[in-house]
Every structure is written in structure tokens, then in C-alpha cells.
Amino acid sequence: MIAKLFNRPVCAILRISTRFKATEANNYVVAKEVGDKGILTLNRPNALNAINIDMLKILAATIQKWSDTKSLIIVKGLPGIAFSAGGDLIGFDVNKDNPNYGREVWQTELVMNHTIANMKIPYVALIDGVTMGGGVGISVYAKYCIATENTLFAMPESAIGLFPDVGASYFFSRLQGKLGYYLGLTGLYFALKEFLLSTSAYVPLGQDVLHAGLATHYCRSAELQKMEKALLKLKDTKHVDDVINEFCPKPNSEFSLSKNIDQIDKCFNASSVEEILDNLEKDNSEWAKQTTKTLRQLCPTSVKIMFRNLQLGSNQSFAECLQMEYRVVLRVIAGKNFIEGCRALLIRKDKNPKWDPSRIEDVTEEEILALYEPLPNNEYVKLKDSSALNQYGIEK
């Protein structure tokens, strides 16, 4: 279904998801209370549920409130089409004269991500359709993150001069072997040929999202409504596992990257991005050539930022990863590459960004390290104290 509806590159989806502007935020986030349970539905169809600042505030406030007052939360999007295509980046152009806009966006978003990851009640995310960027942030930390045959999971921020955030330094660095390095550095531009006809990349789709470790369960889209009704009827949420397992049998497919896992582990086991590129050149397989092409198409500075994020994130708590990403992102969105990426892919749409530096080899270590320095006045994200993370089991 996804391939049929969106037969175009991920950058085209980014453009679709950011060209529409909400007039009434309440129309795009539907909060429904069913007894002691709550359902959050993203409902901005013309923008594939891209999340603008008003929607983000409503989501964050509702999730925070319900985490203390409800026994279960379900979050979902447009069935079979989109959970959420990410953040509404056009807002950065509209609010370009507001120096605090980006700060407000990321403060709100990262606090919400942290709340979800540390939630004590069952939180169920139904990622039935396109799930990108900010949409990943409100789903990947769910105790029950349920993919379907329609799920397309991508974090293409490096294509616009940004980098995968919302804690990507945490969850990518904890995937099997070097898989997270491969997925994080390529921006999850994996090669689903019938979907990304104009790139060499691969996007995790359907059961692959579960195999990769980016979802906890897999369910047929047609069964989601029945599962939702069964969850809402529960008198005791201690039985959530029983309901979800009833509708989510073990997948019957093999991970499509299984044949490349050894190559991924070998090529991405490196101390720098340049060493990864050298390893790929030595491999010289078609897969290696396609992976090199993908890395070369992205913003060089973004690729190096993501590599460092993964190195650091593997030894940091979730809260520390969010603080690190916050420092870097405030500097990146004020820089020339993010502005250029938005211009080339989202505004003028000439698809020809002029990155500076233009090559991975020309991005210096000094330039990257400067992005990680403490912010003026030691600014940071104000996170609540956390208990053990409900999915990954690592404390703050």
C-alpha cells in the first residue's frame, strides 16, 4: 500500500509533509478518553501527520497529564498511510525571525520523548504507515511499538543538513552489532526498490522494522482495530501483554538485511567515517557501492555528527543523550547547512544543496567537537527525574 501511494524518494515525502500549514491545532490532535484509558490520534492527513509546534505542545501536555491519570495510552495516526511523517520543518522558515523557535520546539519534544520512555503505565504506539523523525520520537520508546505491513520507518534528517535526533544516539547505538551505525549514518535510507526508485537506499518496511529492533511487535493492519477495542475493554492493564500477543504473532519473514549483516559489522566497525568509507571501498560489492553512494549524498557535517553521536550515545544514559543532542541541534539549526538543506529540498526544491564543507573528508574534527561544547549559561533540557526506561532497562 505504501509503495503504491508514495512512489517517490523520502525527500519527496519530506516536502509533502511540510508544505501544509495547520490553522487550528486542535483539529489535528484528537484526544479521546475511554474510562481510565486515553487514545491520541494524529489527524493531519494532507501533511502525513507532520507535527507543528502547536500539535507538539498538545501532544506533550496530554501525554504528561495522562501518564499520571490514565491506566493506558494508545497513540495512532492515519490507518495504513501515516503515523507521522515527522516535524513540520516549514515552521523554521515561517519563524526564521524568532531566535527562540527552535529552542521551544526541541525543549518540548525532548521532554515529551523522555516522559514516554519513562512512563509507568502501558503506552501503545500503532505505527501503521509512514513513521519518520518526530513520529519516531513518540513511538520508538513505547513499551509496545507495533509495526504493520504498511510501516515505513525513516530518519532522513541528514539529507537536509540536520541529523537524526529525538534520542537516535541512544536507540541506534543499542541495536545489534553495527546495525545502528549503518541505519543511523545512512539516515535509514535503505533500499526498498519499488519504493525508492530514484535512490540506492533501503528503508525498513513492515516486518523489517521489528527485525531491526525498532518496533516491539508486528501486527496485520486489518487487526489493529480489534486489538485496540480489546485493550480498551481491559479491566486490568496487567493483561496488556496477553492481548497484544494474541494479535501479534511472531513474524514469518527473514530480516531482509540478514545477507548483509556480516558486511555491516565489518565495514561499520571503524573509528571514523573516513575509515567506514575505506572499508566499503575495499568490500567493493554492489551493496558497498550503494551504501557509499548514499553516504555521499547526505550532508557531510551531518554524517560526522551522527557518527560521533553514536560513539558517545552508546555509553550514555537516555537523558544524557537527549542533553547532548539538544546542545548540537541548537547550533546546527543556526548554521548554514540546515538553512541550505531546507532551501534546496523543502522551499525552492531544486534538490541540489550546496553543503559546506562539500565532502566528508573536509569536515574537521575541530568543527565537530565545537558543536558539543556546553551552551551559553549552561542551558539544558529540563527533564524530570527518571526511573528505569520501560523498554531498554537503562536508568538515567
Position 347: which residue type?
I
DSSP structural state of residue 383: P
Nearest to 217 by CA among 389, 82, 391: 391
Q: How many CA atoms lie within 13 A of 106 on its CB side?
A: 25
Q: Which residues of 192-215 are buried (b: 16+ CB within 10 A; e: fewer)?
A: beebbeebbbbbbbbbbbbbbbbb
Catalytic residue (choose from 109, 157, 208, 325)? 157
Closest among 197, 248, 239, 192 to 220, alpha carbons compared: 248
Cα(317)–Cα(388) distance, integer angstroms: 10
Helix axes 224-233, 240-247, angle to 10 degrees: 160
Cα first-last separation, the chain: 40
Whether the CA torsion 146, 147, 149, 150 is positive or negative: it is positive
Which residue(s) pair with 81 in the sheet? Answer: 129
- Of 38, 86, 87, 137, catalytic: 87
| Neighbour order of strands in the sheet with 152-154 | 81-84, 129-132, 152-154
Q: Is 91 a catalytic residue?
A: no
Q: Which of 77, 129, 134, 137 is catalytic?
A: 134
Catalytic site residue from 109, 128, 165, 325:
165
CA 197 – CA 294 distance, rounded (Å): 13
Active site annotation includes 87: yes
Beta-sheet pairing, 29-34 with 37-42: antiparallel
Is 165 one of the catalytic residues? yes
Of 178, 206, 152, 209, nearest in space to 291 by CA: 178
Residue 177 known to be catalytic:
no
Catalytic center residues: 87, 134, 157, 165
